[in-house]
Amino acid sequence: MRAVTIRDKAIHWAEAADPVPGAGEVLVRVRAAGINAADRLQVMGFYPAPPGSPADIPGLELAGEVVGLGPGATAFAEGDRVMAVVGGGGMAELAVVHERHLLPVPESLSWEQAGGFAETFTTAHDALFSQVGLSMGERVCIHGAAGGVGTAAVQLAAVAGAQVTATVRNPEHHDTVASLGAQRVVLPEDFVDAGPYDVILELVGAPNWPGNITALATWGRIMVIGVGAGPKTELSLVDLMQKRGTIRASTLRSRPLEEKADAAQAMIRHVLPLVDAGALTVPVEATFPMADVEAAFDRFAEGGKLGKIVLVAA
């Protein structure tokens, strides 16, 4: 097969060995694969793949067709449309995924949308609901709301009946993010004045601190899942204590098989029915052939996008 391959901190479209599904695993012919910040970090040498995932082929999410079954794999059949979060290896013509991590692709999703769905919506759903228990009527601030996870989080929070404030740096995207369900869309420097918030979803990092503490409601929760603008900050623990606040943080990629399977089951129960009902969409900023991966990564790095950059099979 051919795959996006990391060599000397650069990416190339090159020949690679075909993966072979093991026990409980499925071989997928990849049709589309979304680009995420973790992929760029892996190429730069800062975020290695977890054990068991390809060390030199990036890609945290994929969508495609089942073309082979490993021993004991019975949940899907050859020809089924599937998508998944993976530890790596998604940016290739073929990929191996444990069957318990696979999601069926709803008929309403194109391959491009499915390729940018699994990581973004699973991350957003896990962070907002499994981790900090966002509930109906609560006030939530979603930072970096124009990105893939951000647009997913806005929609999921809105469908759940939360009052959504979204921070978006590019004013040209404010109306579109509002159309996804945000009651208020503000510039990042204005989010404190738009508070307080019961939940803050942090997808940006250091620039939003200590404002996050200032804007937090009493007994509020902050969930950190992105630090692309900087991982280090300084805050007053006294201020956090006075708010009786909670700070949680998480990643999805390196979780063990059972935890990823739990996240997939939560998606099947709670999120995929919303896709079938037309309540959720996957904004796609641009698509690129996998062979043009360098151009795709350059577009991702430019910023200012709304939604996903997705690689598609030839």
Question: Quick one: pLDDT at residue 100?
Answer: 97
β-partners of residue 14 are 3
Beta pairing, strands 94-98 & 25-34: antiparallel
pLDDT for residue 304: 86
Low-confidence ranges of the chain (pLDDT < 50): none
| pLDDT in the model for residue 35 | 97
Helix (H/G/I), strand (E/B), else coil: 226: coil
Q: How much is the pLDDT for 314?
A: 80
Q: Which domains does the chain have, with CATH numbers?
A: 2-117+254-312 (3.90.180.10), 124-249 (3.40.50.720)
Q: How far apart are the first and last CA of the chain?
A: 13
Alpha helices in the chain (DSSP H): 37-43, 111-115, 118-125, 148-159, 174-179, 211-215, 237-242, 257-266, 272-276, 293-302
What backbone torsions phi and psi does residue 236 show, to the nearest 5 degrees? Answer: -95, 115
Q: Token digits for 173? A: 């995207």
Task: Tell me the pLDDT tens digit for each residue of 242-252.
Answer: 999 999 999 99
Strand, helix or coil at 233? coil
DSSP characters over 30-85? EEEEE--HHHHHHHTTSSPPPTTS-SS---SEEEEEEEEE-TT--SS-TT-EEEEE
pLDDT of residue 303: 81
Pairing of strands 81-85, 61-69: antiparallel
- pLDDT tens, position by position, 286-313: 999 999 999 999 999 998 899 999 999 9
β 10-15/2-7 pair status: antiparallel
b/e code 272-286 from CB counts within 10 Å (16+ = b):
bebbeeeebbbbbbe
User: How much is the pTM?
Assistant: 0.95
For 88-138, write each residue's pLDDT tens digit: 999 999 999 999 999 999 999 999 999 999 999 999 999 999 999 999 999
